Structure 1
Amino acid sequence: MVPSTPQVPEQTARAVMVALERIASPERAQSSARFFKTGPGEYGEGDTFIGVTVPAQRTVLRSFRNLPLTELTTLVDSPVHEHRLSAMIGAVDRFRRARDDGERETIADWYLDAARRGRVNNWDIVDVSAGPVLGGWLYDRPREVLFALARSDGHGLNDLWLRRIAIIATQEFIGRGDASTTLELAPIYLDYPDDLLQKATGWMLREVGKRVDRDLLTGFLDEYAARMPRTMLGYAIEHLTVDRRRHYRSLKNER
Protein backbone atom coordinates (compact mmCIF):
# COMPACT_ATOMS: atom_id res chain seq x y z
CA MET A 1 0.00 0.00 0.00
CA VAL A 2 1.42 3.38 -1.03
CA PRO A 3 1.48 5.81 1.91
CA SER A 4 -0.64 8.88 1.38
CA THR A 5 1.06 12.24 0.91
CA PRO A 6 0.28 14.72 3.70
CA GLN A 7 -2.13 17.33 2.40
CA VAL A 8 -0.70 20.85 2.25
CA PRO A 9 -3.21 23.32 3.70
CA GLU A 10 -4.49 26.17 1.59
CA GLN A 11 -1.91 28.97 1.75
CA THR A 12 -4.21 31.74 2.92
CA ALA A 13 -4.45 34.03 5.91
CA ARG A 14 -7.88 32.62 6.66
CA ALA A 15 -6.48 29.10 6.91
CA VAL A 16 -3.81 30.32 9.34
CA MET A 17 -6.45 32.04 11.45
CA VAL A 18 -8.53 28.86 11.59
CA ALA A 19 -5.49 26.78 12.56
CA LEU A 20 -4.61 29.19 15.36
CA GLU A 21 -8.20 29.31 16.60
CA ARG A 22 -8.20 25.52 16.98
CA ILE A 23 -5.41 25.70 19.58
CA ALA A 24 -6.43 28.96 21.24
CA SER A 25 -6.88 29.15 25.00
CA PRO A 26 -9.27 31.69 26.57
CA GLU A 27 -7.33 31.49 29.83
CA ARG A 28 -4.05 32.26 28.09
CA ALA A 29 -5.74 35.07 26.17
CA GLN A 30 -6.70 36.73 29.45
CA SER A 31 -3.21 36.39 30.93
CA SER A 32 -1.60 37.66 27.70
CA ALA A 33 -3.87 40.70 27.69
CA ARG A 34 -2.64 41.55 31.18
CA PHE A 35 1.02 40.81 30.40
CA PHE A 36 1.05 42.95 27.26
CA LYS A 37 -0.58 45.92 29.00
CA THR A 38 -3.82 46.26 27.06
CA GLY A 39 -5.65 48.40 29.61
CA PRO A 40 -6.69 52.04 29.11
CA GLY A 41 -3.64 54.27 28.71
CA GLU A 42 -1.22 51.35 28.54
CA TYR A 43 1.09 50.68 25.59
CA GLY A 44 -1.00 47.79 24.29
CA GLU A 45 -4.36 49.46 24.83
CA GLY A 46 -7.15 47.68 22.98
CA ASP A 47 -5.06 44.79 21.65
CA THR A 48 -6.95 41.50 21.27
CA PHE A 49 -5.60 38.04 22.12
CA ILE A 50 -6.90 34.56 21.40
CA GLY A 51 -4.33 32.74 23.56
CA VAL A 52 -1.70 30.91 21.45
CA THR A 53 1.92 30.60 22.56
CA VAL A 54 4.77 31.68 20.29
CA PRO A 55 6.15 28.12 19.94
CA ALA A 56 2.67 26.94 18.94
CA GLN A 57 2.42 29.74 16.37
CA ARG A 58 5.77 28.70 14.90
CA THR A 59 4.55 25.13 14.63
CA VAL A 60 1.40 26.24 12.81
CA LEU A 61 3.38 28.47 10.43
CA ARG A 62 5.53 25.53 9.31
CA SER A 63 2.54 24.38 7.29
CA PHE A 64 2.13 27.83 5.70
CA ARG A 65 5.60 28.61 4.37
CA ASN A 66 4.30 29.66 0.94
CA LEU A 67 1.93 32.40 2.06
CA PRO A 68 1.98 35.26 -0.48
CA LEU A 69 2.71 38.73 0.89
CA THR A 70 -0.90 39.66 0.21
CA GLU A 71 -1.97 37.00 2.72
CA LEU A 72 0.67 38.13 5.22
CA THR A 73 -0.81 41.62 4.84
CA THR A 74 -4.23 40.27 5.76
CA LEU A 75 -2.71 38.71 8.87
CA VAL A 76 -0.75 41.79 9.90
CA ASP A 77 -3.83 43.98 9.46
CA SER A 78 -5.84 41.82 11.86
CA PRO A 79 -6.82 43.24 15.26
CA VAL A 80 -5.72 39.90 16.79
CA HIS A 81 -2.23 40.01 18.27
CA GLU A 82 -1.34 36.43 17.40
CA HIS A 83 -2.32 37.01 13.76
CA ARG A 84 0.06 39.96 13.50
CA LEU A 85 2.85 38.08 15.24
CA SER A 86 2.31 35.10 12.94
CA ALA A 87 2.57 37.44 9.95
CA MET A 88 5.99 38.52 11.19
CA ILE A 89 7.11 34.94 11.80
CA GLY A 90 6.09 34.18 8.22
CA ALA A 91 7.86 37.27 6.87
CA VAL A 92 11.10 36.35 8.66
CA ASP A 93 10.96 32.85 7.21
CA ARG A 94 10.30 34.19 3.71
CA PHE A 95 13.13 36.70 3.99
CA ARG A 96 15.60 34.03 5.07
CA ARG A 97 14.55 31.73 2.23
CA ALA A 98 14.45 34.47 -0.42
CA ARG A 99 16.29 33.54 -3.61
CA ASP A 100 17.66 36.96 -4.50
CA ASP A 101 17.97 40.59 -3.42
CA GLY A 102 14.88 41.59 -5.37
CA GLU A 103 12.72 39.29 -3.28
CA ARG A 104 14.45 40.36 -0.06
CA GLU A 105 13.93 44.03 -0.90
CA THR A 106 10.23 43.43 -1.52
CA ILE A 107 9.86 41.81 1.90
CA ALA A 108 11.85 44.58 3.62
CA ASP A 109 9.67 47.23 1.93
CA TRP A 110 6.56 45.32 2.99
CA TYR A 111 7.87 45.28 6.56
CA LEU A 112 8.55 49.01 6.63
CA ASP A 113 5.10 49.72 5.24
CA ALA A 114 3.48 47.55 7.92
CA ALA A 115 5.53 49.30 10.61
CA ARG A 116 4.66 52.77 9.39
CA ARG A 117 0.98 51.82 9.28
CA GLY A 118 1.18 50.85 12.95
CA ARG A 119 0.86 47.10 12.48
CA VAL A 120 4.19 46.12 14.11
CA ASN A 121 2.79 47.37 17.35
CA ASN A 122 3.97 45.50 20.39
CA TRP A 123 7.41 44.66 21.68
CA ASP A 124 7.25 40.93 20.92
CA ILE A 125 6.15 41.62 17.33
CA VAL A 126 9.02 44.09 16.95
CA ASP A 127 11.61 41.85 18.55
CA VAL A 128 10.85 38.77 16.46
CA SER A 129 11.12 40.66 13.18
CA ALA A 130 13.14 43.89 13.20
CA GLY A 131 16.55 42.25 13.31
CA PRO A 132 16.05 39.42 10.82
CA VAL A 133 14.10 41.43 8.22
CA LEU A 134 15.07 45.10 8.46
CA GLY A 135 18.50 44.49 9.93
CA GLY A 136 19.10 41.65 7.51
CA TRP A 137 18.29 43.86 4.54
CA LEU A 138 20.28 46.88 5.72
CA TYR A 139 23.41 45.04 6.88
CA ASP A 140 25.45 45.86 3.76
CA ARG A 141 23.42 48.91 2.72
CA PRO A 142 22.96 52.54 3.85
CA ARG A 143 21.17 52.68 7.19
CA GLU A 144 19.73 56.21 7.22
CA VAL A 145 16.20 54.81 7.55
CA LEU A 146 17.05 53.57 11.05
CA PHE A 147 17.97 57.08 12.17
CA ALA A 148 14.71 58.40 10.73
CA LEU A 149 12.76 55.71 12.59
CA ALA A 150 14.69 56.40 15.80
CA ARG A 151 13.65 60.05 15.62
CA SER A 152 10.00 59.30 14.75
CA ASP A 153 7.68 61.97 16.08
CA GLY A 154 4.06 62.92 15.55
CA HIS A 155 2.65 59.41 15.05
CA GLY A 156 1.19 58.98 18.52
CA LEU A 157 1.82 55.64 20.18
CA ASN A 158 3.35 54.27 16.96
CA ASP A 159 6.43 56.46 17.58
CA LEU A 160 7.27 54.05 20.40
CA TRP A 161 7.24 51.04 18.08
CA LEU A 162 9.07 52.74 15.22
CA ARG A 163 11.79 53.82 17.63
CA ARG A 164 12.06 50.33 19.09
CA ILE A 165 12.25 48.83 15.60
CA ALA A 166 15.25 51.05 14.81
CA ILE A 167 17.38 49.99 17.77
CA ILE A 168 16.33 46.32 17.71
CA ALA A 169 17.15 46.10 13.99
CA THR A 170 20.81 46.58 14.94
CA GLN A 171 20.79 43.21 16.70
CA GLU A 172 21.43 41.68 13.28
CA PHE A 173 24.51 43.87 12.81
CA ILE A 174 25.79 43.03 16.29
CA GLY A 175 25.42 39.33 15.54
CA ARG A 176 27.71 39.85 12.54
CA GLY A 177 30.30 41.76 14.56
CA ASP A 178 29.28 45.32 13.64
CA ALA A 179 28.41 47.58 16.57
CA SER A 180 28.76 50.90 14.75
CA THR A 181 25.09 51.69 14.15
CA THR A 182 24.02 50.62 17.64
CA LEU A 183 26.55 53.01 19.15
CA GLU A 184 25.49 55.83 16.82
CA LEU A 185 21.78 55.34 17.50
CA ALA A 186 21.92 54.84 21.26
CA PRO A 187 22.50 58.51 22.21
CA ILE A 188 19.21 59.40 20.50
CA TYR A 189 17.43 57.27 23.11
CA LEU A 190 18.93 58.94 26.18
CA ASP A 191 16.06 61.41 26.48
CA TYR A 192 13.20 59.03 25.68
CA PRO A 193 11.27 58.26 28.89
CA ASP A 194 9.60 55.07 27.65
CA ASP A 195 10.64 52.01 29.64
CA LEU A 196 10.38 49.81 26.54
CA LEU A 197 12.92 51.98 24.71
CA GLN A 198 15.30 52.17 27.67
CA LYS A 199 15.25 48.38 28.03
CA ALA A 200 15.75 47.81 24.30
CA THR A 201 18.68 50.22 24.07
CA GLY A 202 20.35 48.87 27.19
CA TRP A 203 19.88 45.34 25.86
CA MET A 204 21.53 46.18 22.53
CA LEU A 205 24.43 47.91 24.30
CA ARG A 206 24.89 44.85 26.49
CA GLU A 207 24.95 42.71 23.35
CA VAL A 208 27.70 44.94 21.92
CA GLY A 209 29.85 44.17 24.95
CA LYS A 210 28.99 40.49 24.90
CA ARG A 211 29.23 39.71 21.18
CA VAL A 212 31.48 42.36 19.63
CA ASP A 213 33.90 44.08 22.00
CA ARG A 214 33.64 44.82 25.73
CA ASP A 215 35.80 47.91 25.24
CA LEU A 216 33.24 49.38 22.82
CA LEU A 217 30.58 49.09 25.52
CA THR A 218 32.73 50.57 28.27
CA GLY A 219 33.84 53.38 25.97
CA PHE A 220 30.19 54.26 25.39
CA LEU A 221 29.50 54.06 29.11
CA ASP A 222 32.48 56.27 29.93
CA GLU A 223 30.94 58.97 27.77
CA TYR A 224 27.24 58.56 28.48
CA ALA A 225 26.65 56.66 31.74
CA ALA A 226 26.02 59.84 33.72
CA ARG A 227 23.19 60.77 31.31
CA MET A 228 21.69 57.32 30.78
CA PRO A 229 18.28 56.55 32.27
CA ARG A 230 18.63 54.09 35.14
CA THR A 231 16.81 51.29 33.34
CA MET A 232 18.97 51.63 30.22
CA LEU A 233 22.15 51.73 32.30
CA GLY A 234 21.09 48.73 34.36
CA TYR A 235 20.51 46.61 31.27
CA ALA A 236 23.74 47.76 29.62
CA ILE A 237 26.03 46.93 32.57
CA GLU A 238 24.39 43.64 33.55
CA HIS A 239 27.32 41.47 32.39
CA LEU A 240 30.10 43.68 33.75
CA THR A 241 31.97 42.95 36.98
CA VAL A 242 30.52 44.11 40.28
CA ASP A 243 33.16 46.82 40.55
CA ARG A 244 32.49 48.08 37.00
CA ARG A 245 28.74 48.15 37.63
CA ARG A 246 29.27 50.07 40.85
CA HIS A 247 31.54 52.54 39.05
CA TYR A 248 29.05 53.34 36.29
CA ARG A 249 26.16 53.63 38.74
CA SER A 250 28.23 56.10 40.76
CA LEU A 251 28.66 58.27 37.66
CA LYS A 252 24.89 58.35 37.37
CA ASN A 253 24.52 59.26 41.03
CA GLU A 254 27.05 62.10 40.77
CA ARG A 255 25.10 63.83 38.03
Structure 2
Amino acid sequence: MIKAVRAGLEELADPRKAPQMQAYMKSAMPFLGVPKPRRAALLKSLPRVDDPDEWLDAVRTLWREATYREERYVALALSGDRRFQSAGLLPWFDEMIVTGAWWDYVDEIASKLVGPLLRSAPGVVRPHVLRWSADADRWRRRTSIICQLGAKGATDVELLAACVDANVDDPDFFLRKGIGWALREYAKTDPGWVRAFVEARPGLSPLSRREALKHL
Protein backbone atom coordinates (compact mmCIF):
# COMPACT_ATOMS: atom_id res chain seq x y z
CA MET A 1 0.00 0.00 0.00
CA ILE A 2 2.86 2.38 0.79
CA LYS A 3 4.37 1.84 -2.65
CA ALA A 4 0.97 2.31 -4.28
CA VAL A 5 0.39 5.61 -2.47
CA ARG A 6 3.79 7.03 -3.36
CA ALA A 7 3.64 5.88 -6.97
CA GLY A 8 0.08 7.12 -7.36
CA LEU A 9 0.88 10.56 -5.98
CA GLU A 10 3.95 10.88 -8.20
CA GLU A 11 1.84 9.98 -11.24
CA LEU A 12 -0.80 12.59 -10.33
CA ALA A 13 1.70 15.32 -9.47
CA ASP A 14 1.27 18.72 -11.08
CA PRO A 15 4.45 20.80 -10.68
CA ARG A 16 2.55 23.94 -11.72
CA LYS A 17 0.14 23.70 -8.80
CA ALA A 18 2.64 22.56 -6.17
CA PRO A 19 4.21 25.97 -5.35
CA GLN A 20 0.78 27.61 -5.10
CA MET A 21 -0.48 24.93 -2.72
CA GLN A 22 2.65 25.18 -0.59
CA ALA A 23 2.39 28.97 -0.40
CA TYR A 24 -1.31 28.89 0.52
CA MET A 25 -0.71 26.41 3.32
CA LYS A 26 2.48 28.21 4.47
CA SER A 27 4.10 24.79 4.51
CA ALA A 28 7.77 24.02 5.01
CA MET A 29 7.12 20.57 3.52
CA PRO A 30 6.76 20.73 -0.27
CA PHE A 31 3.68 19.68 -2.23
CA LEU A 32 3.43 17.49 -5.30
CA GLY A 33 0.45 19.44 -6.57
CA VAL A 34 -2.23 16.75 -6.15
CA PRO A 35 -5.63 18.29 -5.27
CA LYS A 36 -8.10 16.60 -2.94
CA PRO A 37 -10.41 15.08 -5.61
CA ARG A 38 -7.48 13.26 -7.19
CA ARG A 39 -6.26 12.07 -3.80
CA ALA A 40 -9.76 10.74 -3.09
CA ALA A 41 -9.72 8.78 -6.34
CA LEU A 42 -6.30 7.38 -5.47
CA LEU A 43 -7.55 6.23 -2.07
CA LYS A 44 -10.28 4.17 -3.75
CA SER A 45 -7.73 2.41 -5.94
CA LEU A 46 -5.34 1.33 -3.18
CA PRO A 47 -4.87 -2.36 -2.38
CA ARG A 48 -6.96 -3.54 0.56
CA VAL A 49 -5.20 -4.20 3.86
CA ASP A 50 -7.18 -6.32 6.33
CA ASP A 51 -4.67 -6.87 9.10
CA PRO A 52 -4.93 -4.05 11.68
CA ASP A 53 -1.24 -4.14 12.60
CA GLU A 54 -0.16 -4.05 8.96
CA TRP A 55 -2.62 -1.22 8.30
CA LEU A 56 -1.39 0.90 11.22
CA ASP A 57 2.25 0.27 10.35
CA ALA A 58 1.61 1.45 6.77
CA VAL A 59 -0.23 4.55 7.93
CA ARG A 60 2.49 5.48 10.40
CA THR A 61 5.21 4.95 7.80
CA LEU A 62 3.45 7.17 5.28
CA TRP A 63 3.09 9.92 7.87
CA ARG A 64 6.48 9.70 9.54
CA GLU A 65 8.53 9.29 6.36
CA ALA A 66 6.57 11.78 4.26
CA THR A 67 8.60 14.07 2.02
CA TYR A 68 5.50 15.66 0.46
CA ARG A 69 2.45 17.00 2.24
CA GLU A 70 0.05 14.89 0.16
CA GLU A 71 1.58 11.74 1.66
CA ARG A 72 0.43 12.94 5.07
CA TYR A 73 -3.01 13.82 3.73
CA VAL A 74 -3.36 10.25 2.49
CA ALA A 75 -2.07 8.83 5.79
CA LEU A 76 -4.61 10.94 7.64
CA ALA A 77 -7.44 9.76 5.41
CA LEU A 78 -6.39 6.13 5.84
CA SER A 79 -6.28 6.61 9.62
CA GLY A 80 -10.06 6.99 9.54
CA ASP A 81 -10.71 3.48 8.19
CA ARG A 82 -13.87 2.52 10.05
CA ARG A 83 -12.88 -1.15 10.28
CA PHE A 84 -10.07 -0.39 12.69
CA GLN A 85 -11.35 2.46 14.86
CA SER A 86 -10.89 2.00 18.60
CA ALA A 87 -9.78 4.03 21.59
CA GLY A 88 -6.39 2.36 21.22
CA LEU A 89 -5.72 4.65 18.26
CA LEU A 90 -5.82 7.77 20.42
CA PRO A 91 -2.01 7.86 20.93
CA TRP A 92 -1.58 7.74 17.14
CA PHE A 93 -4.07 10.55 16.61
CA ASP A 94 -2.23 12.53 19.29
CA GLU A 95 1.07 12.01 17.47
CA MET A 96 -0.42 13.37 14.24
CA ILE A 97 -1.80 16.38 16.08
CA VAL A 98 1.54 17.29 17.66
CA THR A 99 3.79 16.52 14.69
CA GLY A 100 1.35 17.91 12.11
CA ALA A 101 0.96 21.14 14.06
CA TRP A 102 -1.13 23.03 11.52
CA TRP A 103 -4.83 23.59 10.97
CA ASP A 104 -5.24 21.54 7.78
CA TYR A 105 -4.19 18.38 9.62
CA VAL A 106 -5.53 19.16 13.07
CA ASP A 107 -9.05 20.19 12.05
CA GLU A 108 -9.51 16.92 10.17
CA ILE A 109 -8.06 14.83 13.00
CA ALA A 110 -10.21 16.59 15.59
CA SER A 111 -13.57 16.40 13.85
CA LYS A 112 -13.22 13.17 11.81
CA LEU A 113 -11.10 11.01 14.10
CA VAL A 114 -11.07 12.20 17.73
CA GLY A 115 -14.73 13.29 17.76
CA PRO A 116 -16.19 9.92 16.69
CA LEU A 117 -13.93 8.14 19.19
CA LEU A 118 -15.13 10.47 21.93
CA ARG A 119 -18.74 9.53 21.20
CA SER A 120 -18.04 5.80 20.92
CA ALA A 121 -15.75 5.47 23.94
CA PRO A 122 -16.33 8.53 26.16
CA GLY A 123 -15.03 6.86 29.30
CA VAL A 124 -11.58 6.46 27.74
CA VAL A 125 -11.37 9.46 25.42
CA ARG A 126 -13.04 12.19 27.50
CA PRO A 127 -10.27 12.44 30.14
CA HIS A 128 -7.66 12.80 27.38
CA VAL A 129 -9.63 15.57 25.68
CA LEU A 130 -10.03 17.36 29.00
CA ARG A 131 -6.27 17.19 29.62
CA TRP A 132 -5.56 18.44 26.11
CA SER A 133 -7.68 21.53 26.82
CA ALA A 134 -5.01 22.77 29.25
CA ASP A 135 -1.96 21.36 27.48
CA ALA A 136 1.04 23.50 26.53
CA ASP A 137 0.57 22.48 22.89
CA ARG A 138 -1.96 24.78 21.21
CA TRP A 139 -2.96 22.13 18.67
CA ARG A 140 -4.00 19.70 21.36
CA ARG A 141 -6.00 22.54 22.88
CA ARG A 142 -7.63 23.41 19.56
CA THR A 143 -8.49 19.73 19.12
CA SER A 144 -10.21 19.65 22.50
CA ILE A 145 -12.33 22.64 21.51
CA ILE A 146 -13.41 21.58 18.02
CA CYS A 147 -13.51 17.79 18.28
CA GLN A 148 -17.29 17.82 18.79
CA LEU A 149 -18.06 19.67 15.55
CA GLY A 150 -21.06 18.01 13.96
CA ALA A 151 -22.03 16.06 17.07
CA LYS A 152 -25.33 17.99 17.31
CA GLY A 153 -27.51 16.46 20.04
CA ALA A 154 -24.74 14.06 21.04
CA THR A 155 -22.51 16.97 22.11
CA ASP A 156 -21.10 16.68 25.62
CA VAL A 157 -21.85 20.28 26.60
CA GLU A 158 -20.06 20.04 29.93
CA LEU A 159 -16.90 18.98 28.13
CA LEU A 160 -17.34 21.68 25.49
CA ALA A 161 -17.77 24.33 28.18
CA ALA A 162 -14.74 23.10 30.12
CA CYS A 163 -12.50 23.11 27.03
CA VAL A 164 -13.63 26.60 26.03
CA ASP A 165 -13.24 27.97 29.55
CA ALA A 166 -9.71 26.58 29.75
CA ASN A 167 -8.75 28.73 26.76
CA VAL A 168 -11.05 31.72 26.95
CA ASP A 169 -8.26 34.14 27.88
CA ASP A 170 -5.68 32.86 25.41
CA PRO A 171 -4.78 35.42 22.70
CA ASP A 172 -3.87 32.76 20.12
CA PHE A 173 -5.86 33.25 16.89
CA PHE A 174 -6.39 29.53 16.24
CA LEU A 175 -7.80 29.00 19.72
CA ARG A 176 -10.10 32.03 19.55
CA LYS A 177 -11.30 31.07 16.09
CA GLY A 178 -11.79 27.48 17.23
CA ILE A 179 -13.91 28.58 20.19
CA GLY A 180 -16.16 30.64 17.94
CA TRP A 181 -16.43 27.84 15.41
CA ALA A 182 -17.35 25.20 18.00
CA LEU A 183 -19.99 27.42 19.59
CA ARG A 184 -21.41 28.51 16.22
CA GLU A 185 -21.86 24.90 15.17
CA TYR A 186 -23.52 23.88 18.43
CA ALA A 187 -25.82 26.92 18.16
CA LYS A 188 -27.48 25.11 15.24
CA THR A 189 -28.62 22.52 17.79
CA ASP A 190 -29.18 24.60 20.95
CA PRO A 191 -29.05 28.35 20.25
CA GLY A 192 -30.33 29.20 23.73
CA TRP A 193 -27.49 27.36 25.41
CA VAL A 194 -24.88 29.09 23.25
CA ARG A 195 -26.37 32.55 23.77
CA ALA A 196 -26.49 32.05 27.55
CA PHE A 197 -22.94 30.65 27.53
CA VAL A 198 -21.58 33.66 25.63
CA GLU A 199 -23.45 36.19 27.75
CA ALA A 200 -22.09 34.60 30.93
CA ARG A 201 -18.50 35.08 29.75
CA PRO A 202 -17.63 38.76 29.29
CA GLY A 203 -13.99 37.77 28.86
CA LEU A 204 -14.68 35.95 25.61
CA SER A 205 -12.69 37.54 22.79
CA PRO A 206 -14.55 39.66 20.20
CA LEU A 207 -13.55 37.13 17.53
CA SER A 208 -14.94 34.17 19.47
CA ARG A 209 -18.09 36.07 20.41
CA ARG A 210 -18.73 37.25 16.85
CA GLU A 211 -18.27 33.77 15.41
CA ALA A 212 -20.39 32.11 18.10
CA LEU A 213 -23.36 34.44 17.55
CA LYS A 214 -22.94 34.73 13.79
CA HIS A 215 -26.23 33.04 12.87
CA LEU A 216 -28.29 33.85 15.97
TM-score greater than 0.5 by the shorter chain = yes
Larger radius of gyration: 1
Checking the alignment, whether the CA contact within 8 Å between 1:183 and 1:205 is kept in structure 2 is no
Question: In structure 2, which of residues 40, 49, 59 is the aligned counterpart of residue 72 of structure 1?
Answer: 59
Q: What is the RMSD computed on CA atoms of the aligned residues?
A: 2.1
Provide the rounded CA distance (Å) in 2 between the counterparts of 1:51 and 1:175.
39
- Determine what percentage of the aligned residue pairs are the same residue: 27
**CA pair 189-137 structure 1, distance change in 2 beyond 3 A:** same
Q: How does 1:90-105 map to 2 (within 5 A)?
A: 90-92=78-80, 94=81, 96-98=82-84, 104-105=86-87
Q: How does 1:4-43 map to 2 (within 5 A)?
A: 12-38=1-27
Q: How does 1:1-255 map to 2 (within 5 A)?
A: 12-38=1-27, 46-64=28-46, 66-67=48-49, 68-77=55-64, 78-92=66-80, 94=81, 96-98=82-84, 104-116=86-98, 118=99, 120-139=100-119, 140-142=121-123, 143-153=126-136, 159-171=137-149, 173-174=151-152, 176-210=154-188, 212-224=189-201, 226-240=202-216
Per the TM alignment, residue 179 of structure 1 is displaced from its structure 2 partner at its CA by 3.1
Provide the rounded CA distance (Å) in 2 between the counterparts of 1:220 and 1:81.
38
Unaligned runs of 5+ in 1: 1-11, 39-45, 154-158, 241-255
SS at match of 2:31: coil
The total of aligned residue pairs comes to 207
**Per-residue CA shift, 1:159-200, capped at 9, x if unaligned?**
232222222212254463443322221112222222222212
Per the TM alignment, residue 65 of structure 1 is displaced from its structure 2 partner at its CA by 6.6
**CA pair 176-113 structure 1, distance change in 2 beyond 3 A:** same
Which residue in 1 is equivalent to 2:52? none
Provide the rounded CA distance (Å) in 2 between the counterparts of 1:235 and 1:186.
14
SS at match of 1:227: coil
Unaligned runs of 5+ in 2: 50-54
TM-score normalised to structure 1 length: 0.73
